[in-house]
Amino acid sequence: MTHFEKAPAKINLSLDVLSKRTDGEYNVEMIMTSIDLADRIELTTLEEDRIIVSLWSRYVPNDERNLAYKAASILKEKYNLNKGIHIKIDKCIPVSAGLGGGSTDAAAVLRGLNKIWDLNISMEELAVIGAEIDSDVPYCIYSSTAIAKGRGEIIEPLPSPPSSWVVLAKPNIGVSTKAIFKQVDLDSLSHPNTEEVIDALHEQDFEKLCSNIGNSLEDITTSLHPEVNRIKEKMTLSGAEGVLMSGSGPTVYGLVKQESKAQRIYNSMKGFCSDVHIVRILG
């Protein structure tokens, strides 16, 4: 039996780091929305009790370090399942980019196996299981638009942004989320206005959204990788209405209302940066 799941990437409309927890992790508040750039996950049941992951990427391992593998492995262990699965990942989301590629693959595997193995696990429970894999997995279980709190495991749905285009530009570097969090100094961190972003979503006010998107990690990543700032400047000069780094970076996105303008910005970013995409917000 074969089953397909779409695994959409996300962008952060906000990312705030609030406080350090006793377990050494950080309490965060992140508003995320999914975009129509996605990996495609093909799940095929196997006769033998094993997990196989196949994908073509020199940046992503295909063994137990793969988050999709981890998702299947945790589910088998938790529910005592002697079942086998072949996970094929058609990787379209740039890796180590701040777009949640690994987390969305893991979430898609959890959703897909829940269906093909008839496990009847609720979305809430899948999100709890997902939190054991990575902090972005609970959000990716639901996708759409939501605020994630705590370590990322508390999810509250939000209205999706007004219909718009997103231009993504990634410099030719990968950024490790762990390495960026190691540099966090709570005393000197800037904070986005999360409440204003939430209001803008409720009011469907595109201009208000664009002027309030913000990311506490941006200063850290840009100080280590100045090219991120150069891409932000270029994206702003090209006319994007809201410009921000997603996640821990290095991908920068520009929000644009009109398709023709988004296309022009895409073309001008193409001459500046190797990895550029033009996508829509999935909502």
Nearer to ligand ATP, 102 or 238 (CB): 102
Out of 10, 70, 83, 170, the active site residue is 10
Q: How far apart are CA 196 and CA 246, in angstroms?
A: 18
Q: Which of 273, 217, 277 is nearest to 247 (CA)?
A: 217
Q: Residues touching ligand ATP: how many (CB under 6 A)?
A: 21
For ligand ATP, the closer CB: 43 or 89: 89
Nearest C-alpha neighbor of 112 from the set 42, 50, 52, 48: 42
DSSP secondary structure letters along 2-45: EEEEEEEEEEEEEEEEEEE-TTS-EEEEEEEEEEEEEEEEEEEE
Q: Is 8 in the site for ligand ATP (CB under 6 A)?
A: no
**Known catalytic membership, residue 10:** yes
User: Minimum CB separation from ligand ATP for residue 239, in Å?
Assistant: 26
Q: Please list every residue from 126 through 185 that binds ligand ATP, using CB under 6 A.
A: 136, 177
Q: Which residue reads 């190797």 in tokens?
A: 274
DSSP class per residue in 68-109: HHHHHHHHHHHTT---EEEEEEE--SPTTSSS-HHHHHHHHH
Which of 50, 59, 223, 237 touches ligand ATP (CB under 6 A)? 59
Check 16, 105, 134, 136 and give the catalytic one: 136
Our answer to whether residue 170 is catalytic in this structure is: no
The 8-class DSSP code of residue 168 comes to: E
Distance CA 178, CA 181 (A): 5
3-state class of 169 per DSSP?
strand
With contacts defined by CB under 6 A, name the span among 18-26, 89-97, 117-125, 258-266 that binds ligand ATP.
89-97
The CA distance from 90 to 86, in Å, is: 13
Residue 179 vs 186, nearer CB to ligand ATP: 179
One residue of 37, 41, 76, 101 binding ligand ATP per CB under 6 A: 101
Which parts of 248-277 interact with ligand ATP (CB under 6 A)? 248
Nearest distance from residue 261's CB to ligand ATP, in Å?
27
Residue 112 interacts with ligand ATP (CB under 6 A)?
A: no
First-to-last C-alpha distance (Å) of the chain = 30
Is residue 216 near ligand ATP by the rule CB under 6 A?
Answer: no
Binding region for ligand ATP (CB under 6 A) out of 90-98, 183-191, 195-203, 207-215: 90-98
* Residues classed as catalytic: 10, 136
**Contact set with ligand ATP (CB under 6 A):** 59-60, 65-68, 89, 95-103, 105, 136, 177, 247-248
Residue list for the binding site for ATP: 94-104
